[in-house]
Amino acid sequence: MPGEQREISPTLTYDVLVVGAGFAGLYALHRLRGLGCSVRIFEAASDIGGTWFWNRYPGARCDIESMQYSYSFSEEIQQEWNWSEYYASQPEILRYIDFVADKLDLRASIQLNTRVTAAHFNEQTSQWEVSTDDGERYVTRFLVMATGCLSIPLEPSFPGLPEFSGEIYRTSDWPHEGIALQGKHVGLIGTGSSGVQIAPKLAEQARHLTVFQRTPHYSIPAHNRPLDPEYVRGWKENYKERRRAARQTRNSTLNDAGDRSGLEFTWEEREREFARRWEVTGGIGFIYAFPDVTVNDEVNGHASDFVRRRIASTVRDPANAAILTPQGYGIGGKRICVDTNYYETFNRQNVTLVDIRSDPIVQMTPRGIRTKSIEYALDVLVLAIGFDAMTGALTKVEITGRGGRTLRDHWKEGPRTYLGLSIAGFPNLFVITGPGSPSVFANMVTSIEQHVDWIADCISAMRDDERITIEATDEAEAAWFAHVNEVGSRTMLAKAGNSWYVGANVPGKPRVVMPYMGGAATYMEKIEGVARDNYSGFRFTR
């Protein structure tokens, strides 16, 4: 229990404890160990990899190009590793993570199969007391939450679910040995990025696939392809400059972004540009055609309408096309999806699409799913229903700061942080890519590196100055939270108001635009400026 007094062996005392062994935790371990700190990672899974360990469903793939969705801190690693495809598959990313962990000799400091359940800041000792699910307790000066933004899957609450006699799987926890779907009737609930990626694979393998869709998403063809050796060489020879240039963009990615407002072009010119991006380059870059695709109503309306027309011309059955067509919100209002043959999947004979807005799921039955009008018999149910994003992994741990205040309580009205890194009243606690930072709106690996570097530099500076604790002030946190909200309120995310970015997918979660939408480059300048300014907005104790 937090606060309970018990002797803790000095061998269980660390300078830094890191929670999570994904991209963030691994780099944190490497950097902090390099400072001479004693560091340990706790990881709930049976192996490293974080998101890429868990989300191993067929079709799982990153939608940022592999040459960029990788660590930049080591020239040796980025030269040595070879990606095979433009967008890397989940197994390849996991192999990459293993390669990095082995190369940097990280494994000895990682404790697997260990979930952190509670962390209590002891004001007398200025240390964190951390409890794990194996009943052990540890003491650490700094606690780094590298718990990821999409790591706590939503619990399904369909009535009658336990009565279903078939198999149930989640994309977020797919069996390592895979699943034999041949000859089976498979149902899929959820058509976000995971659902859009897995649906074509399920349709290829199963006897029949029934997709239960609540909200249609906008999805852009990936045009994934094997990597051309010339292209790879171009990157490897210029990695340094390109990484630097990427950090100067809004999302830490070089992506052929247009730099002139869509309003400066005629409708026909815009149309040609959208067509090029849909037909040739593909992927998320579609929305970077013009810088105002996600903020200006006219440009957004055009881009959204373009996708709607492409759905209509791809999906042969007009009734299916109508169901798949997003209405009532513009592109960018929910996470844009990137697919391979998603819309084409609905032209297959063995695929049925059910619009559960007009024919809602009433309950699960032993045989399958009963909607208001019909029962669908299923052997297998696949859930791709999403995550308690950005805050879930943090509030799941019983974190108590000064005065016994819990993080859950502190975030009752929304996830208040200073810079997405630090929380007032929770000294020496750092969050990597927390709410209030660009995180999921930028290249996550770059966001992670920036945060880890900032935290490592901060810890190093504190050591030099013999400072014991660092803590965001209430004023700095309040001002940053207001700024994040103000910037977020101008975007399609706020206008659509119906995505995990604003907490809309979790009943009772405060509706706040959680990522910082001011752009990764602006954000980076901001946090570097804070550090240069002797950590303005923070308070230290000695």
Instruction: Give the residue nearest to ligand NA7 (CB).
Output: 192
- For residue 61, state whether it binds ligand NA7 (rule: CB under 6 A): no
Residue closer to ligand NA7, measured from CB, 121 or 329: 329
> Smallest distance from the beta carbon of 161 to ligand NA7, in angstroms?
11
- For residue 193, state whether it binds ligand NA7 (rule: CB under 6 A): yes
Site string (314-343) toward ligand NA7, x via CB under 6 A: ---------------------x--------
Residue closer to ligand NA7, measured from CB, 357 or 402: 357
> Smallest distance from the beta carbon of 51 to ligand NA7, in angstroms?
8
> Smallest distance from the beta carbon of 195 to ligand NA7, in angstroms?
5
Q: Which of 2, 148, 195, 200 binds ligand NA7 (CB under 6 A)?
A: 195
3-class DSSP assignment, residue 209: strand
Size, binding site for ligand NA7 by CB under 6 A: 19
- For residue 215, state whether it binds ligand NA7 (rule: CB under 6 A): yes
- For residue 509, state whether it binds ligand NA7 (rule: CB under 6 A): no
Q: Report whether 418 contacts 480 (CB < 8 A).
A: yes
- For residue 224, state whether it binds ligand NA7 (rule: CB under 6 A): no
Provide the strand spans (E) within 102-218: 110-111, 116-122, 127-132, 137-145, 167-170, 185-189, 208-213
Output the CA–CA distances (angstroms, integers) from residue 381 to 112, 179, 218, 261, 304, in the order listed. Answer: 29, 12, 24, 44, 31
- For residue 505, state whether it binds ligand NA7 (rule: CB under 6 A): yes
State the pairing for strand pair 127-132/116-122: antiparallel
> Smallest distance from the beta carbon of 284 to ligand NA7, in angstroms?
10
Residue type for 104, please? L
> Smallest distance from the beta carbon of 3 to ligand NA7, in angstroms?
36
Produce one character per residue of 332-341: b if its CB has 16 or more CB atoms within 10 Å, e if not: bbbbbbbbbb
Give the phi and the psi of residue 226 in degrees, each rounded to 5.
-65, 150
Residue closer to ligand NA7, measured from CB, 2 or 503: 503
Instruction: Specify the stretch interacting with ligand NA7 by CB under 6 A; choose among 193-201, 315-323, 412-420, 473-481.
Output: 193-201
Produce one character per residue of 450-488: b if its CB has 16 or more CB atoms within 10 Å, e if not: bbbbbbbebbbebeeeebebbbbbeebbeebbeebbebb
- Distance from C-alpha of 299 to C-alpha of 25, rounded to nearest angstrom: 39
3-class DSSP assignment, residue 342: helix
Residue closer to ligand NA7, measured from CB, 68 or 194: 194
> Smallest distance from the beta carbon of 496 to ligand NA7, in angstroms?
10
Residue closer to ligand NA7, measured from CB, 191 or 417: 191
Site for ligand NA7 in 425-454 (CB under 6 A): 440
> Smallest distance from the beta carbon of 440 to ligand NA7, in angstroms?
6
Q: Report whether 325 contacts 177 (CB < 8 A).
A: no
Residue closer to ligand NA7, measured from CB, 187 or 386: 386
Q: What DSSP letter does each residue of 410-459 carry, written as one string?
A: HTTTS---BTTTB-TT-TTEEETT-TTSSGGGS-HHHHHHHHHHHHHHHH
Q: Report whether 343 contacts 138 (CB < 8 A).
A: no
Q: Report whether 494 contacts 511 (CB < 8 A).
A: no
- For residue 191, state whether it binds ligand NA7 (rule: CB under 6 A): yes
Residue closer to ligand NA7, measured from CB, 181 or 198: 198
DSSP H or E stretch at residue 23: helix 23-34
Instruction: Specify the stretch interacting with ligand NA7 by CB under 6 A; choose among 190-198, 219-227, 277-285, 300-308.
Output: 190-198
Output the CA–CA distances (angstroms, integers) from residue 17 to 139, 430, 432, 444, 502, in the order listed. Answer: 8, 11, 13, 21, 29
- Distance from C-alpha of 92 to C-alpha of 52, rounded to nearest angstrom: 9
3-class DSSP assignment, residue 516: coil
Residue closer to ligand NA7, measured from CB, 195 or 427: 195
> Smallest distance from the beta carbon of 154 to ligand NA7, in angstroms?
6
- For residue 500, state whether it binds ligand NA7 (rule: CB under 6 A): yes
Q: Where are the alpha helices (DSSP H) in 35-124?
A: 51-54, 75-80, 90-103
- For residue 189, state whether it binds ligand NA7 (rule: CB under 6 A): yes
- For residue 214, state whether it binds ligand NA7 (rule: CB under 6 A): yes
Residue closer to ligand NA7, measured from CB, 97 or 423: 97
Site for ligand NA7 in 369-408 (CB under 6 A): 384-387
Site string (145-184) toward ligand NA7, x via CB under 6 A: -----x----------------------------------
Residues across the chain: 542
- For residue 58, state whether it binds ligand NA7 (rule: CB under 6 A): no
Footprint on this chain of ligand NA7 (rule: CB under 6 A): 150, 189-195, 214-215, 335, 356, 384-387, 440, 500, 505
